[in-house]
């Protein structure tokens, strides 16, 4: 197993994050600083920032229905509740797969599988994510929906084509294959509708379903395999 993958499967970071950690000189293997993330690991004597790395743990993925006000980070400097605090898993170092802003609710994944996290969040894999936005200024007109579907011009460039449909006079469902900061909110504002409430209801093939707000569940092996397969299509 290569060093970056070893670190990722040990819950240190995503594969990409682990690669950056190694190249920054923070990792020692058999007592010596190792800068090559592709080095084959045949020892358990791996240290990060002066502490031993426990080694690969059983890989798990949780689905969580994130409440409003909870941040999508492993920790928060402003003493707000972080998503990892909502899952009682003392044996693994979990981190969120991508982010939802603090006021957005709904489906977020947490895992210690860095390789899978990278597959699901890297832009080139374009794993779809579906949101429902309740907006001001209803009813939403057909022209606004078409603009959202075709792509709208934002300050960081034009958005990719998306799937957009109206499920209530003031509720838009959007399926995106990119993940810019506050993208759904900015897209809706660009077509004249401020977002009042936003929920993510689907991540790839995985649906939020009836998972209660603040609750979580462990994904089955079949669900994880399907997510992994979608990212590689």
**Residue range 17-60, pLDDT digits in tens:** 899 999 999 999 999 999 999 999 988 899 999 999 988 778 89
pLDDT at 76: 57
pLDDT 10s digits, 59-116: 899 999 999 999 997 765 566 789 999 998 877 788 899 999 999 999 999 998 888 8
pLDDT of residue 5: 87
The arithmetic mean of pLDDT across residues 192-211, rounded, is 96
Residue 122 pLDDT more than 90? no
The pLDDT of residue 198 = 98
Q: CA nearest 130: which of 104, 167, 88, 163? A: 163
At 171 the pLDDT is 98
The mean pLDDT value for 8-23 works out to 85
Number of helices (H), then strands (E), in the chain:
6, 15
Q: How far apart are CA 93 and CA 86, in angstroms?
A: 13
- Full-model pTM: 0.80
Tokens found for residue 108: 């977020």
Question: So which residues are the catalytic ones?
Answer: 101
Q: Is 21 helix (H, G, I), strand (E, B) or coil?
A: helix
Burial 27-64, CB ≥16 within 10 A → b, else e: bbbeeeebeebebebeeeebbbeeeebeebeebbbbbb
What are the chain's domains? 3-52 (3.10.290.10), 61-123+206-231 (3.30.70.580), 128-203 (3.30.70.1560)
Q: How many residues does the chain have?
A: 233
pLDDT reported for residue 75: 65
Write down the pLDDT at residue 233. Answer: 60
Integer Cα distance of 204 and 220 in angstroms: 15
pLDDT in tens, 132-161: 999 999 999 999 999 999 999 999 999 999
pLDDT value at residue 13: 80
Structure tokens at 199: 């929920």
Cα–Cα distance for residue pair 127/131, rounded to 1 Å: 13
pLDDT value at position 28?
Answer: 95
Q: With contact defined as beta carbons under 8 Å apart, do 107 and 120 qualify?
A: no
């Amino acid at each position: 197993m290569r060093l970056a993958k070893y670190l990722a499967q040990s819950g240190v970071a995503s594969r990409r994050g682990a690669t950056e950690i190694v190249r920054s000189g923070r990792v020692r293997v058999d007592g010596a600083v190792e800068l090559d993330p592709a080095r084959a690991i045949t020892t358990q004597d791996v240290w990060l920032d002066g502490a031993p790395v426990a080694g690969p743990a059983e890989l798990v993925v949780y689905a969580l229905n994130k409440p409003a006000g909870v941040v999508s980070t492993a920790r928060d400097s402003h003493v707000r509740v972080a998503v990892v605090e909502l899952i009682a898993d003392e044996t693994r170092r979990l981190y969120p797969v991508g982010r939802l802003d603090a006021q957005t609710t709904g489906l977020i994944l947490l895992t210690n599988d860095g390789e899978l996290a990278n597959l699901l969040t890297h832009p080139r894999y374009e794993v779809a994510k579906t949101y429902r936005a309740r907006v001001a200024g209803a009813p939403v007109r057909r022209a606004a929906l078409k603009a959202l579907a075709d792509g709208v011009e934002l300050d960081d460039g034009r958005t990719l084509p998306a799937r957009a449909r109206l499920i209530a006079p003031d509720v838009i469902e959007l399926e995106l294959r990119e993940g810019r900061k506050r993208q759904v909110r900015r897209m809706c504002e660009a077509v004249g509708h401020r977002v009042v409430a936003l929920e993510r209801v689907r991540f790839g093939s995985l649906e939020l379903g009836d998972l209660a707000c603040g609750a979580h569940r462990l994904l089955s092996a079949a669900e994880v395999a399907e997510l992994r397969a979608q990212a590689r299509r």
